[in-house]
């Protein structure tokens, strides 16, 4: 009985962990977690200037193009 309970708890834990990891975020296994804590301060003046004001937008699309095979730029 004790063993069955222990096994059930373990399975439940694994299920919760898997759901948290892959189910809710909508991301794929192996993807970097974009919600992970940042390595820099978003309240620093330079970063705040880049981010602009949060003026109540409901949704955003961030876009780019023309990287032409390069994950970095020259020089």
Partner 1 sequence: MGGLARRVSYIKAFQHRSNMEVPTLFVDAGNLFTDDRFAGDHLPAEVMTKNQWVVKGYSDFHQDVANISFNDLPYIAELFKKDGYEKRLQEYPFIDRLISANLEPADDTRRAPQPYLIREVTLSRTAPGKKLRIAFVGLTEGKPTSPNQHESLYAGFRINDVFETAKRVIPEAKKKADMVVVLAYMSQDMAQRLASENPDIDTLIVARQMSLMNDPEHFGRATITYAFNQTKYLGELRYYLRSDSTIENQINRYVALDADLPDDPQASEIVTAAHNDFTNVQKASMDANPAPAAQPASQDSPFVGASTCMNCHATQYAVWEKSGHAHAMATLERKSQQFDNECVRCHVVGFNKGGFQSLISTPQLANVQCEACHGPGREHVAAPAKGFGFMATPTGCVQCHTLTNSPDFNFATYWPKIKH
Site string for partner 1, 7-36 (x = CB under 8 A): --------------------xx-xxx-xxx
Question: Left (φ > 0), alpha (ψ -120 to 50) or beta: where does 53 sit?
Answer: beta
Q: Which is closer to partner 1, CB of 1 or CB of 52?
A: 52
Interaction mask 34-63, partner 1, x per CB under 8 A? xxx-xxx-x---xx-xxxx-xxxxxxxxxx
Residue carrying structure tokens 């620093």: 44
3-state SS, residue 2: helix
Structure tokens at 70: 């390069």
SS3 29: coil
| Residues at the interface with partner 1 (CB under 8 A) | 27-28, 30-32, 34-36, 38-40, 42, 46-47, 49-52, 54-75
């Amino acid at each position: 009985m004790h063993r069955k309970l222990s096994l059930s708890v373990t399975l439940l834990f694994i299920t919760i962990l898997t759901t948290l990891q892959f189910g809710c975020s909508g991301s794929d296994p192996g993807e970097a977690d974009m919600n992970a804590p940042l390595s820099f301060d978003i309240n620093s003046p330079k970063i705040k200037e880049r981010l602009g004001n949060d003026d109540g937008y409901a949704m955003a699309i961030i876009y780019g193009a023309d990287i032409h095979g390069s994950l970095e730029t020259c020089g």
